[in-house]
Amino acid sequence: MTVPPNTSTEPAANNGLPDRLVKHAVRYADHRAVHRDHLTPMLRHYADLKDQYPHTLLFYRVGDFFETFFQDALIVSRELEIVLTSKDGGKEVGRVPLSGIPHHALDRYCALLVEKGYAIAVCDQVEDAADAQGALVRREITRVVTPGTLLEEGMLNARRNNYLAAIVIAGHHWGLSYADISTGEFLTTQSSSLEQLTQELMRLQPAEVLIPTNAPDLRGLLRPGEKSEHLPDCLPTQFCYTLRSQTPFTQVEARQRLLQRFRVRSLEGLGCEHLPLAVRAAGGLLEYLDDTQKETQIPLQPICTYTLTEFLILDSQTRRNLEITQTVRDGTFHNSLLWALDRTITPMGSRALRRWLLQPLLKVTEIQARQDTLQELVNNGTLREDLQRLLRQIYDLERLAGRAGSGTASPRDLVGLADSLGKLPELARLVESSRSPYLKAVQQVPPVLEQLGKHLQARLVERPPLALKEGGLIRIGVVPQLDEMRQQATDDETWLAKLEVIERERTGISTLKVGYSKTFGYYISISRSKAGQVPDGYDRKQTLVNEERYITSELKERENRILNARKELGDLEYEIFAGLRSEVGEQAELIRTVARAVAAVDALAGLAEVAVYQGYSRPKMVEGRQLSISEGRHPVVEQALPAGFFVPNSAELGNQESNSIPDLIVLTGPNASGKSCYLRQIGLIQLMAQVGSFIPAQSAQLSICDRIFTRVGAVDDLATGQSTFMVEMNETANILNHGTARSLILLDEIGRGTATFDGLSIAWAVAEHLATEVRARTIFATHYHELNELASILPNVANYQVTVKEMPDQIIFLHRVQPGGADRSYGIEAGRLAGLPSSVIQRARQVMSQIEKHSKIAVGLRKGGRSEKNSQPDPPHDPTQQLEIGI
Ligand SMILES: Nc1ncnc2c1ncn2[C@@H]1O[C@H](COP(=O)(O)OP(=O)(O)OP(=O)(O)O)[C@@H](O)[C@H]1O
């Protein structure tokens, strides 16, 4: 059984509770400990529901509050730091623990609990308390909120997707489906290496992963890091996993569910007819949505089948090392690539850019389509600025459409949506003469959406109130019946407003007032000193210190009419609003298709803005394996430095037409000279080019890479018990096993985590293997200057160094990358600059000079290597099977 550790029901260090309550809290820390028949009817209903949803926190609507009882009350009060109180549980039970939150704060508190890894079942009142006529108000579970099924604006991060994933594993084969129910994206794939499954999950960073299992306890939500025997070992533990029954994940059930959902006869058109694992994962995901969303039918876009090989493969180390969405050092968004490039205006544009950066393209035509659009937006600054100005007035159409479709959109959501739809024709006009693909895609607004926008604008008031059922939503002149009711209500209210004046005149009591209280309704108030002058027909209702309160039969009659009219008006307006909302919901798919096109324009306009202000250029995408970058810069470091401080550097790799261009560069240079920066900038430029962005370089000719690998620094992976060196070796093995001639490999410091000779030997062998066997384009940054020898042995290896200027008492970092190998690391100088004591520095210099005197290295080419310098035969004397170093 899998019980989340935090569902422990120990009361939190008394929580500041009085002793009497602690006693109850302990006694009733589990609803099952109480005899059901002894509970009040409401708590009995609560306990029955809790049995059905044992692993959720059950929020039960009572009036204006959502309340939790028993064990849930203890958890909720501890996790949300709110007061734990108690409620009468029945005559023989006494008081049971209670924690409640105001109903309007449900989203906010749910978001906090979901972030902590809890699932929440919301039990709402489904009839008016007045209609229940004294009986228990009818309540039902209206939704189960889990990390992957969030819809409410307040619970979601606007600028990133919130994915729910489902996986099916069969041997080494697997199927993965994922959906963002707030935007409607729904995708599925299948493949055959479990390592790839991990990588794909790492890319998606799903909020929740569903996994079919035969575990008896199926409602468990495994919080990040929690272990379970039912979780396959191959899966990363940092996600929330939900264990599900296997039935909906079977081929027959899953297929049937997909056919029904998308109203098709075969899955051929959806691209997954012959991908059983992809179908099973998708079917299991749909079933989970049906189960958790209850009556709400979540609108999803038609499922899209994809393959992993459609995109540039970036493993999780590479995404981390290139700091695409967060930095390595402190995991912040600030100073990541996305931070440097994201100038989008809308949340949907920002989400699109994030997706693009994590899934760069492989097809030159697709890259060029983005480049062409960027070019137009770079050349036409006025168009770009006008577009961005207009985008500011377009809300998150993707998510608004979703909320309309699921019946959770508020009146303000619909007004926002209507206003945004109203801007689409303007957007279309702005780009009417554009020729580039992404701008052409928004030249036509589907007439049905244009009409829908107008339809909503004509009906909904400009600034509707937050409350749904208190009226004030619908414009005057839209529904005659509504107008008549309003007129009647206004007449009554005017009568009421005049009553005070009339009664003052009639009674001669100048201090007479008409007021309203929640308990008594409307009343006429007269100061006690004038009570003797009260006319006939005044019926005394309440006596206060200084005043008497009266009603009259006419006042009561009007009051009834006014209050009934208000309720009827509120109900009718809500009904009209709900009708409008479902009209929007019916168009959710189309709205989202248009929203995606707008999001892409937003992402590209932002990239164009960066390109203009940072002086980026359009890379030329070429065939073959060429990587030529002239005067390239690191897109993030250059933004962090004062203008003009960044030193640009060029790079040439893998050009088969020129013999002098290497496949592998051995890059040496002092500490802190800029090796890592250079390495990463090449990776980032290649990645940006394949995203379709312009790049921070004077010019570039780049061919398509199938993968970018990086090995940069290393940290202990304490979670999996791997040492720094083992992490380094695992990552290196992965690169050697999966790299191809079309890959770009960036290695920083291989072999540093072990003894010098072991490290140097490994570094040598790895570099040699990459240059001769894999023949990938590689930059190998190292402090082992001995590796410079390789260039004299292998024709496709070259040495480059990052230069410094040595002054009598300091080193000046030039950050220039030039041909040739460095022979010193200036590590001792770096230590001096860092403040090591001068005695230590002096001693280090002595030791260094001794080592330098006695060290020699003689390494030859590995026997059987494919590449030999100038195709010369092996040297007759082969000193080579070992690396020989003497000190
Ligand atoms: N081309 C450049 N122009 C300007 N500043 C640069 C450049 N490259 C690097 N720098 C600056 O130098 C600092 C050190 O660079 P980097 O970390 O790449 O050095 P390194 O050679 O890899 O050092 P180590 O060998 O100690 O790891 C960076 O933080 C950056 O601010």
Output the residue whose Cα is nearest ligand 1's atom 12.
674
Residue 220 in this model has a pLDDT that exceeds 80: no
Three-state SS at 333 = coil
Looking at 261, 294, 310, the residue that finishes a domain is 310
Q: Can you tell me the mean pLDDT for 51-59?
A: 89
What pLDDT is recorded for position 875?
39
Give the CATH number for residue 806: 3.40.50.300
> d(Cα 287, Cα 524) in Å, to the nearest integer?
59
Q: How confident is the model at residue 89 (pLDDT cuts 50, 70, 90)?
A: confident
> d(Cα 599, Cα 602) in Å, to the nearest integer?
5
273 within domain boundaries: yes
Q: Quick one: tokens of 857?
A: 């290295």
Q: What is the mean pLDDT of the chain?
A: 87
640 C-alpha to ligand 1 centroid (Å): 13
Contact 829, 813 (CB under 8 A): no
Same domain, 165 and 135: no
Residue 802 CA: nearest ligand 1 atom is: 21
Torsion of CA 543, 547, 548, 552, to 10 degrees: -140
Same domain, 137 and 168: no
Q: How confident is the model at residue 10 (pLDDT cuts 50, 70, 90)?
A: very low
Nearest Cα to Cα of residue 594 among 383, 428, 780: 428
Residue corresponding to tokens 């708590």: 43
- Residue among 647, 677, 784, 812 to mutate when testing ligand 1 (max atoms within 8 A of CB): 677
693 within domain boundaries: no
What pLDDT is recorded for position 865?
41
Same domain, 114 and 172: no
AA letter at 647: V
Assess whether the C-beta atom of 647 lies below 6 angstroms from ligand 1: yes
Q: Can you tell me the mean pLDDT for 175-198?
A: 94
Give the CATH number for residue 534: 1.10.1420.10
Sheet hosting strand 699-703, strand order edge to edge: 620-622, 699-703, 627-632, 649-653
Q: Can you tell me the mean pLDDT for 643-672?
A: 89
Looking at 81, 114, 145, the residue that finishes a domain is 145
Q: How confident is the model at residue 227 (pLDDT cuts 50, 70, 90)?
A: confident
Same domain, 348 and 294: no
Residue predicted with more confidence, 704 or 317:
704
What pLDDT is recorded for position 874?
38
127 C-alpha to ligand 1 centroid (Å): 66
What pLDDT is recorded for position 34?
82
What pLDDT is recorded for position 880?
38
Assess whether the C-beta atom of 687 lies below 6 angstroms from ligand 1: no
Same domain, 602 and 665: no
> d(Cα 570, Cα 560) in Å, to the nearest integer?
15
Q: Can you tell me the mean pLDDT for 73-81?
A: 91
Among 99-113, 218-232, 401-415, 487-501, which stretch is predicted with the lowest mean pLDDT? 218-232
User: Where are the strands (E) in 10-118, listed by range?
Assistant: 56-62, 65-69, 85-88, 95-102
Q: How confident is the model at residue 186 (pLDDT cuts 50, 70, 90)?
A: very high
What pLDDT is recorded for position 884?
38
Residue 813 CA: nearest ligand 1 atom is: 12
Residue 876 in this model has a pLDDT that exceeds 60: no
Q: According to the per-residue pLDDT averaged within each range, which of 39-48, 693-702, 780-789, 815-824 is highest?
A: 693-702
Q: According to the per-residue pLDDT averaged within each range, which of 88-102, 120-134, 806-820 is highest?
A: 88-102
Residue 825 CA: nearest ligand 1 atom is: 25
Same domain, 165 and 139: no
Nearest Cα to Cα of residue 401 among 594, 219, 538: 594
Q: Which pLDDT tens digit goes with each residue over 746-759? A: 999 887 766 777 88
Quickly count: other Cβ atoms within 10 Å of residue 643's Cβ: 7
Same domain, 166 and 220: yes
Contact 32, 44 (CB under 8 A): no
Residue predicted with more confidence, 394 or 317:
394
Same domain, 161 and 241: yes
Portion of the chain with pLDDT greater than 70, in percent: 90
DSSP codes, 235-301: S-TTS-EEEE-SGGGSHHHHHHHHHHHTT-S-SGGGT-TT-HHHHHHHHHHHHHHHHHHTT-----P
DSSP codes, 656-697: TT-TTS-SEEEEE--TTSSHHHHHHHHHHHHHHHHHT--BSS
Same domain, 76 and 221: no
What pLDDT is recorded for position 53?
87
Q: How confident is the model at residue 25 (pLDDT cuts 50, 70, 90)?
A: low
633 C-alpha to ligand 1 centroid (Å): 12
Q: Can you tell me the mean pLDDT for 461-484?
A: 87
- Residue among 328, 634, 637, 680 to mutate when testing ligand 1 (max atoms within 8 A of CB): 637
Q: Quick one: tokens of 529?
A: 């000193």
Same domain, 531 and 394: yes
What pLDDT is recorded for position 799?
95
What pLDDT is recorded for position 524?
92
Assess whether the C-beta atom of 639 lies below 6 angstroms from ligand 1: no
Give the CATH number for residue 27: 3.40.1170.10
Q: How confident is the model at residue 720 (pLDDT cuts 50, 70, 90)?
A: low
Same domain, 819 and 743: yes
Cite the DSSP H helix spans in 81-215: 106-115, 194-204
682 within domain boundaries: no
Three-state SS at 510 = coil
What pLDDT is recorded for position 610?
98
Residue 521 in this model has a pLDDT that exceeds 50: yes
> Does the annotation flag 335 for ligand binding?
no
> d(Cα 796, Cα 665) in Å, to the nearest integer?
9
Looking at 112, 145, 178, the residue that finishes a domain is 145
Q: How confident is the model at residue 367 (pLDDT cuts 50, 70, 90)?
A: very high
Residue 606 in this model has a pLDDT that exceeds 70: yes
Q: Which pLDDT tens digit goes with each residue over 318-355? A: 999 999 999 988 889 999 999 999 999 999 999 999 99
ipTM more than 0.90?
Answer: yes
DSSP state of 722: B
Nearest Cα to Cα of residue 207 among 271, 276, 146: 146
Q: Can you tell me the mean pLDDT for 297-322?
A: 91
Q: Quick one: tokens of 806?
A: 């040595």
What pLDDT is recorded for position 885?
35
> d(Cα 414, Cα 584) in Å, to the nearest integer?
8
Q: Can you tell me the mean pLDDT for 148-154?
A: 85
What pLDDT is recorded for position 758?
80
Q: Work out the burial of residue 631: count CB atoms within 10 Å of its CB; fewer than 13 is exposed, 13-18 middle, 19 or more buried.
A: middle
The tally of domains found in the chain comes to 4
Q: Which pLDDT tens digit goes with each residue over 771-825? A: 999 999 999 999 888 899 999 999 999 999 998 887 777 778 899 999 998 777 6
> Does the annotation flag 628 for ligand binding?
no
791 within domain boundaries: yes
Q: Which pLDDT tens digit goes with each residue over 562-579? A: 888 888 888 899 999 999
Q: Which pLDDT tens digit goes with each residue over 389-444? A: 999 999 999 999 999 988 889 999 999 999 999 999 999 999 999 999 999 999 99
DSSP codes, 612-646: HHHT-BPPEEESTT-EEEEEE--TTHHHHSPTT-S
Residue 20 in this model has a pLDDT that exceeds 70: no
687 within domain boundaries: no
Residues 6+ apart with CB under 8 A from 869: 792, 793, 794, 795, 861
What pLDDT is recorded for position 90?
86
Residue 633 CA: nearest ligand 1 atom is: 1
Same domain, 137 and 176: no
Q: How confident is the model at residue 27 (pLDDT cuts 50, 70, 90)?
A: low
What pLDDT is recorded for position 401?
93
Give the CATH number for residue 211: 3.30.420.110
Q: Name the residue range of residue 865's domain.
A: 656-673+705-886
321 within domain boundaries: no
821 C-alpha to ligand 1 centroid (Å): 17
Assess whether the C-beta atom of 24 lies below 6 angstroms from ligand 1: no
Q: Work out the burial of residue 424: count CB atoms within 10 Å of its CB; fewer than 13 is exposed, 13-18 middle, 19 or more buried.
A: buried
Nearest Cα to Cα of residue 73 among 84, 62, 65, 64: 84
DSSP state of 823: -
AA letter at 630: S
Q: Can you tell me the mean pLDDT for 127-140?
A: 77
396 within domain boundaries: yes
Contact 322, 337 (CB under 8 A): yes
Residue corresponding to tokens 């926008």: 453
What pLDDT is recorded for position 18?
54
Residue 646 in this model has a pLDDT that exceeds 70: yes
Assess whether the C-beta atom of 675 lies below 6 angstroms from ligand 1: yes
Q: For residue 187, which phi and psi values (nearest 5 degrees)?
A: -130, 160
623 within domain boundaries: no
Nearest Cα to Cα of residue 340 among 355, 316, 358, 324: 324
What pLDDT is recorded for position 222?
85
